[in-house]
Homo-oligomer: A and B are copies of this chain.
Amino acid sequence: MKLTSKGRYAVMALVDLAKFNDINPVSLRDISLRQGISLDYLEQIFSKLRKKAIVQSVRGNQGGYVLNKKANEIKLTNIFDAVDEKVKTVQCKKESKKGCNGKLTKCLTHNLWDELENHINDFFEKKSLEDLIKDNIERRI
């Protein structure tokens, strides 16, 4: 299992944004330079974040992005959801409620994968952007 860079970048960029989010909006250009993420790629990512109301955009010269909610209200879940980073352990989710792989019973390990998904999603549900920033300040590196 691995995390895609889209999800990882989204979180990195938002932490960066939250950190520099004082009076002026933060430009993607700055984030791009600080975090070493391609500007074009960032634009794709922020377009999705904006559609999910996680950030707000300010157009024009000296524009940029601003958080649209308080940092403690933005969970990892929300971020990953916005950029389509999903936790997928089975294919058999969407099929008939009864069984998997076209069979009548659930596959032998169905419960396991469900548990795993929940285990991971719990983690994402508990972590907020605020937690990340705090952790960052404390470590100061």
Question: Which residues of A are at the interface with B, using a C-beta cutoff of 8 A?
Answer: 1-5, 7-8, 11-12, 15-16, 19, 35-36, 85-91, 101, 103, 105-109, 111-113, 115-116, 119-120, 123, 127, 132, 135-136, 139, 141
A11 lies within 8 A of B88 (CB): no
Cross-chain pairs A/B with CB under 8 angstroms, 23 sampled: A1-B1, A1-B2, A1-B3, A1-B85, A1-B87, A1-B88, A2-B88, A2-B89, A3-B113, A8-B109, A12-B107, A12-B108, A35-B108, A36-B103, A106-B139, A106-B141, A108-B136, A111-B135, A111-B139, A112-B127, A116-B120, A119-B120, A120-B120
Q: Which residue of B lies closest to A18 (CB)?
A: B108
- Leading 8 A-B pairs by shortest Cβ distance: A2-B88, A3-B89, A15-B108, A1-B1, A105-B141, A119-B123, A36-B101, A12-B109
Chain B residue numbers with a CB within 8 Å of A2 are 1, 86-89
A91 to B96 Cα, complex, angstroms: 38
Answer whether A8 and B89 are a contact pair too, CB < 8 Å, given A119-B120, A120-B1, A135-B111: yes
